[in-house]
């Protein structure tokens, strides 16, 4: 049972998440020999104020 966990900032549409999970599933089938019926993809979304890189919160970054 392959399990792919995606962590990202919130803000994507349901259509974007559909496309993302389809692309991940297709890639796992093609490159890892996964059975698509047994593959799980979980998306965890975080507000920018709950994610930091290099000690700077996402809401304070100027490069995103």
Residue 57 pairs with which residues in a beta bridge? Answer: 52
| Known active-site residue 36 | no
Count, residues in the chain: 64
If phi > 0 it is left, if psi is from -120 to 50 it is alpha, else beta; for residue 62 that is alpha
Residue of 2, 4, 21, 43 marked catalytic: 2
Which positions are annotated as active-site residues? 2
């Amino acid at each position: 049972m392959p399990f792919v966990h995606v962590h990202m900032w919130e803000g994507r549409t349901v259509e974007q998440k559909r496309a993302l999970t389809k692309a991940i599933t297709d890639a796992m089938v093609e490159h890892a020999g996964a059975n698509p019926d047994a593959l799980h993809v979980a998306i965890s979304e975080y507000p920018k104020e709950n994610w930091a890189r290099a000690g700077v919160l996402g809401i304070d970054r100027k490069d995103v």
